[in-house]
Every structure is written in C-alpha cells, then in structure tokens.
Structure 1
Amino acid sequence: MWSRVRVDIAWGDLIGGVVRGLLGGDPVAAREELERGWSAGQGDALAALSVRSGFDLLLQALPLSPGDEVLMSAVTIPAMPAIAAAHGLVPVPVDVVGSDFRVDLAALRRAVRPRSRVLVVAHLFGARPQMGEVCAVAREHGLFVVEDCAQAWCGTAWRGTPEADASLFSFGTIKTATAAGGALCRVRDAELLARMRSIQSRQPLQPRRAFLLKLLKCGALKGLSARPVYGLLAAWARRTGRRIDDVLGPLARGFPGPVRLEPLRRRPCAGLLRLMARRLETYDPRRIEARIETARRYIDWLGLAETHPELLTTPHSFWLFPLVDDRPEERTAEFARRGIDAAQRGRLEVIPAPPGRSELKCPSAKDLLQRTVLLPCYGGVPVPSPRLRPKVVARA
C-alpha cells in the first residue's frame, strides 16, 4: 500500500544528522549561518524549534493583552488556537472556501472586532492561495498577518507572501525536506524580530539526546512507511479495528499530548540547525515537481479541472492531494482497494466560535473538512488514466 505521507529525507541525511547531533557544536554560530543563508542576507529570519515555538515567540513579542483576539483560518491543527488561548488570547475562526481552503473575505470582514489584533492564515496541503486581498483587509483593520506555512514549503525561492508580517515554515518529521524538527520564521519588522530573538536567547537549549531521539523516530517512520511494510501494517490495523494513524502517529508528532508552552520554549541545538541547513542546500526540487505531476494525473483521472479549478490556478506543491467529494467514505474505501492510503481530516479541526458569537460558526469549513479525502501525492503513486474514471464524482 502507498502510504499517505512519505518521510522526505534520505537515509544518508538521517545518518549525517545523527553524526551532527553527536558532535554538537556552537548553536549560535549554526543558527546565524542558517538564518543568513535562508534570508540571503536580508536579516529577517529566525530559526526556531518548531512552528509552534515560532508562533509562541511571536505572541510573546507582540504588544498583546489578555482578551485580545487572534483571527485564524477556521481549519487548522488544534495546537495553534490552543497556543493563542494559553496566552490569554481569544481564537476566532474565519471561514474558508474551495479545495485550497482559502480565507473567505466576507467572513474575515465579519469576524473583525475592536479587539482583533492578529490574523493567522494556514496554507494547507501545499496550497499557497493569493494573499493580496486578505492582507489589504487586514491592513484596513490594523491586523498583524501571520502565514502558517508548515505544510507549504516548496523550496528556498519562496519565503512567504511579501505583504505578510510573518511567515512560519516547518521541517518537522512528515513535512517537506524534513530535518526531524525545526522551523524558519520570516519576520518583516526588525524590532519585533529583535524582541523575539531576545526572548529566545533566554530559553534553554534543546538537549542533544532529544534531537537524536527525534531522528530515531524519523528513521523508524521512514522504514515503516516503505510500501511493503506499510501494507502489512495497514492490513493488521484493519483486522484489529485500529486506525493506522493511531499506530504511527506517535512517531510523527513533535509534541505529543495536550499543548503546553514549556516544551516549546527551547532553542534548537546545533545538530538540528546544521541538518536544516543541509536540507535547504541540497534539497532536490524534482521531488516537488514529481508531486505536482502526480496531482495533475489525479485531476485528469477524477475530472476535477472544471469543478475545482483552484487545484490548477492556485500555486501548489501538493504536500497531500485534497479531494473534495460528496461521498468521502466510499472514496476512501475505493482508494484502499487500489492500494492507496486515503483518509479524512488527519489532525485538522474546525475552530469553534467563541461563546456568544454563533454568527462566526464556519459552515463552509465544516463541510469542506467532512468531504475532503487526503491522498498521497508524490512520484510513483499509481494514478489510473482518465478512461478508468470512477463513478463517484466530486462536485464543486
């Protein structure tokens, strides 16, 4: 069976990461080298332990007060609104539309209130919807705009939307160009970046053993995701009534359990920083090109060009392929019969409306998430030709 997400690192880099972790080194020098290389000398980069850590640093450095509102695109991982809530802030959902899960501008305008301070837009599954109008609305209301690009890294040429105030990129275990952890944050305002760096400098260093354990888990997940092994695991999970995500999930999660701020507040160790630098320097863009080609075959096979044109018009690296379908359970079972691991939702959730603000419930986001089937999308996945198109057809 073809696993949904491929662990995007070669064995040689994993072994090299272990060597770097064991040797250690100067984390300050490693961080400065990584940030300087990624920012091409612009001085707007900060390396962090994770996207969650970068987001936590942002919220600490911004002039926010308890009860201020953080507007967030409604579909995201639960950790992001939980981090905002842990700061005493109020997460407010903004509805999304389309299979690229882009922010609904009308919903954004409805959500803004006098205490709205921040807007966080999650770019899901590799999609990078245009942010011009979103940023324009945010500027009208004085919102600080954050791009959560954890699933959208597509190479060093794109470092986020220039109009956004901050863009956060993940190199976690199942992300593109994984380094078994780490994040890069682009922050436009130099003074804000300096405050974030000052806060981070007082945090303890990530223990080397913690980095080495992450590498071990990453290697285990890579081995278990190999097609023959994954097929056996999937069969075992079906026979025992388990979800394969529950079996392998602990290997993929950087911070298991309920959200706590203390584990996020660590500086990345030198080994992690140097492995991130290597991944940026040596990543083969043909891997993303292969994902885009696989996505085009899905679009042709399923006849989605007319019903979901955003799959072709929105810049996309297809970390996963989001298929919006009227009968997601049937579709998931159909792909399983073809030996392709498909699933719904993953760890994504719809952020609930704050108490007393029922007008901010997000019907489009709920409908989209319920109807979306997530498909593996990388080179080699066997997508049938259009003449073998299945009977269940997705609607717009």
Structure 2
Amino acid sequence: MVWWVYPYACLNIDCGWFEWLRALRRAIYTGEKRAVLLQNLTKAFSNEDNVIVSISVRTAFDVYLQALNIPKGSEILMTAINIPEMVRVIKLHGFVPVPVDVDVNTLAVTPERLESAITDKTKLILATFTYGVRYDLAGIAKVGKKYNIPIFEDCAEGYVGPSYKGDPNADVTVFSFGPIKHATAFQGAVMIIRNNPEILQKARKIHDSYPVQSGKIYLKKVIKYSGGIVLLNLRWLNYILRPILLNIGFDYKKRVVSLLRGFAPGQGLEVYRFRPCTAMISFLYRRISHFDDKKFYKGMKSIQEGTDILIKGGVTVPGSNPKDRTFWLYPIVTKDAAKAYDALNNAGIDAYQGISQLYAVPVPEGSKCPKPDKAYEMFKNLLYLPIHKDVPHKDIVKICKHTVKLLNPKL
C-alpha cells in the first residue's frame, strides 16, 4: 500500500494559471495583427527573414521535405532515438528512414558513424537532440558538405530561451512549443531555414498555401491542456489523488499521456497541413518574449546537482556527459525496468515507462546499415523520473538520494 508520495509527475506543463488565462483570452478573441506578430517572432529567432511559424514540428518537416523535392526512395539518416511520427512522415513521402546509433553518455551521433551510413541515396541528415541534450554540429556539418547533404536540426525538445537560436552549421533548425515543451504555447513550432533562398522561398509558398487552422481548434486545445495543468502541476492534488489511484491499481499515467498528445497517431499528412491561427501566434510570442532565463537556468542547476547524486550512486543517466545540458524529460537506465518501476512507485516516486513517444528507430527492411544496438539496449530498461525545472531543489536531492538507495542498495 502507498500512503505518501513525492507530489511531482515526470511530465510538466510549463505554464502557470495566469499564463493559461492569457492563452484563453487570446483564443476567445485577439485584435492583434497577424503580420506584426510573425515579424516579431522572426526577429526573436533570426537576424534574417528566414523563419516560418507552423502548428507543429511535423508540419515544418513535411513542408521542408516538399520544398527539398528529392526522389522517391531517397534515404534520410536520422538520430536513432526519435519519435514514430517523424519516421512516419518520412515514409509517407516515399523516403527511407535510416537510423544512426548514439552514444548513451552523450546521446550524440558521431560524424564517423554518420559518414559510414551514407550511400548514394542519402539526401538529408536529421540530427535530433533528445532529452534536452545539444551538441556541436560542426563535425556533422563537415560530413554534410563533403557529400552535399543538408542538415536538419531537430530541437523540438531543446528550446532554452533567446540564448540559443540554432546551430549556424545546420541548414534548418526547428523548435517546438507543444503542450509538454519548455515555454509551451500548447501548440506551434518555429523553423529557421539557412543558406538556401530557393528552398526558403519554396517552403514559404507551400506553407502559405495551407488554410489557417480554426481558432476554435486552438481554443479547445487550451481548454484541454488545462486538465493537464490540474493533473500534473497541482502538488496538493498529487498528494491526495495519486496514493488512491496507485492502491486501486488504476493506470492514470496512460490517461494523462493520451490527454497530452498533440495529434492522434496514424493519420495522413493532411492533418499537419494548416497554418497557425492568430491566437496561437500571439500566445507563442508572449511566451518567447517573457521567457525567464534566470528561473530556467536555476532549475537546470538543481537538476544537474541531482544528476551528480545519481551518477555517483551508480545510476545510469543517458546524456549525462554534456555539462550544459538543459533537461526536459528525465531518463534513467536500470538493470530491470519493471522491478525498478515497482520499487520507485511503491516508495512514492512517480516513475514512468513509455511516457514519451521516443523510441529506438528500427532498421528498414533489407537495409545493410548497422543496427543501432546502443539505442535498442537503452530503451529495454528505460524509466523516467519526476524531475524537472519546477521541482524544488531540496526535493530533487531527496528524490535522487531515494532513487539511489532503492536501485543500488549496496551503497
């Protein structure tokens, strides 16, 4: 029986109630000028007029693939840790997704590993930064230039405020502002296209041809995700509700995760082919222009201290080597995920399995590319801990020490 819990969930909606009310007000009515808002967002991300604001990263990726206009059957090299929907977008275009393995300690793809996967069919490199890890793309960019292959930098999980606007070595950078991302606008993405005015013009023309998504749809999203704020962010509710649900065996985690999905899985590309409504653009600009750097990095510092405790205690934390890492979801790798899951939850630590869509990308049938064994092995025993920037420092320390005690009792 569980009678006490740490009142934090693995997922966190980065939006307080005052900000949510601002989103609601805009979703009901906004008199702001769309063109001015888009211009302001462009200035926030680039010194050039090369920014496209879309409803999602998948929309941006779909637009870019159309503008790139590569032959059917082309191969796209991608970080082996990714989400199924990015793989599906690639396949729906008639291309072949080829996973490239990562190092568990850095979550980075090495230039050498990437180059060994290139064939005469390779037309794009999709470098995805997962779990808040970023790494220098200079080495990968050299490989791209050597073979004349553009680099698409997927920073969907990596927005850290105005201090990072994408790696200049990348031909494209995208940021996400979906429901569980930093500075969430409950929807939306920003794509920056560099070095190729022709591709930029084509992408703009394609995106501008899409209808504007109904403001009613955005209003429904804002209302829907208020439920996530209640279930995930309210500590007193976690104190009361979680022990009850755990003791009756109700799988509330699946319900919460399904609530937070931005799109229903398995749909065609047409579901992404809309432009954002003015209300969403307005709220996105509000989140960007009021981003609190000090609070953000204070939270990251606390998480890094917790990471040091886990590593010293023998717990594997993927991507722990980069010291400038900004944490989003917090993964750990255990010897036995099922056993660790039960131990942590029985101790009141809200560990999750399968909370994220992230997975190890399968090798395409008939491909001679090496299997991403490190990514496969990592996902066999992957868990997520309830650690994020809004968890107080003292509780991060307690959760990490408690986790070490449960998972490495010899210490």
Q: 2:352 aligns with which of 336, 343, 349?
A: 343
Query: Residue type of the partner of 2:222?
Result: L
1:360 counterpart SS class: coil
CA contact (8 A) 2:8 2:391 kept: no
1:212 counterpart SS class: helix
CA contact (8 A) 1:100 1:314 kept: no
Task: Tell me how far 1:353 sits from its aligned partner.
Answer: 1.0
The alignment status of 1:202 with 2:201, answered yes or no, reads no
Task: Tell me how far 1:387 sits from its aligned partner.
Answer: 7.2
Q: Report the Cα distance in structure 2 between the residues aligned to 1:181 and 1:224, rounded to whole angstroms.
A: 19
Gaps (5+ residues) in structure 2?
1-6
CA contact (8 A) 1:171 1:182 kept: yes
CA contact (8 A) 2:80 2:100 kept: yes
Farther off after superposition, 347-356 or 172-181: 347-356
What is the 5 A alignment of 1:1-396? 1-25=7-31, 26-39=33-46, 41-188=47-194, 189-225=196-232, 226-231=234-239, 234-235=242-243, 237-239=245-247, 241-304=249-312, 311-345=320-354, 346-375=356-385, 376-381=387-392, 382-384=395-397, 389-390=404-405, 392-393=407-408
Task: Tell me how far 1:57 sits from its aligned partner.
Answer: 0.7
1:193 counterpart SS class: helix
Farther off after superposition, 44-53 or 244-253: 244-253
- Could you state the TM-score of these two structures normalised by the residue count of structure 1? 0.91
CA contact (8 A) 2:85 2:265 kept: no
Distance 1:144 1:304, change over 3 A: farther
Query: Residue type of the partner of 1:115?
Result: K
CA contact (8 A) 1:291 1:319 kept: no
1:313 counterpart SS class: coil
Farther off after superposition, 153-162 or 356-365: 356-365
Aligned length: 393
2:344 counterpart SS class: helix
Aligned residues: CA RMSD: 2.4
Q: Report the Cα distance in structure 2 between the residues aligned to 1:305 and 1:151, rounded to whole angstroms.
A: 27
Q: Report the Cα distance in structure 2 between the residues aligned to 1:206 and 1:108, rounded to whole angstroms.
A: 38
Task: Tell me how far 1:143 sits from its aligned partner.
Answer: 1.6
Task: Tell me how far 1:343 sits from its aligned partner.
Answer: 1.9
Q: Report the Cα distance in structure 1 between the residues aligned to 2:21 and 2:206, rounded to whole angstroms.
A: 32
Farther off after superposition, 385-394 or 95-104: 385-394
CA contact (8 A) 2:76 2:124 kept: yes
Query: Residue type of the partner of 2:143?
Result: V
CA contact (8 A) 1:3 1:227 kept: no
Distance 1:391 1:24, change over 3 A: closer
CA contact (8 A) 2:105 2:318 kept: no
Deviations 1:199-246 (A, max 9, x none): 111100010000101111121110111223245554455456554332
Task: Tell me how far 1:35 sits from its aligned partner.
Answer: 1.6
Q: Report the Cα distance in structure 1 between the residues aligned to 2:310 and 2:359, rounded to whole angstroms.
A: 26
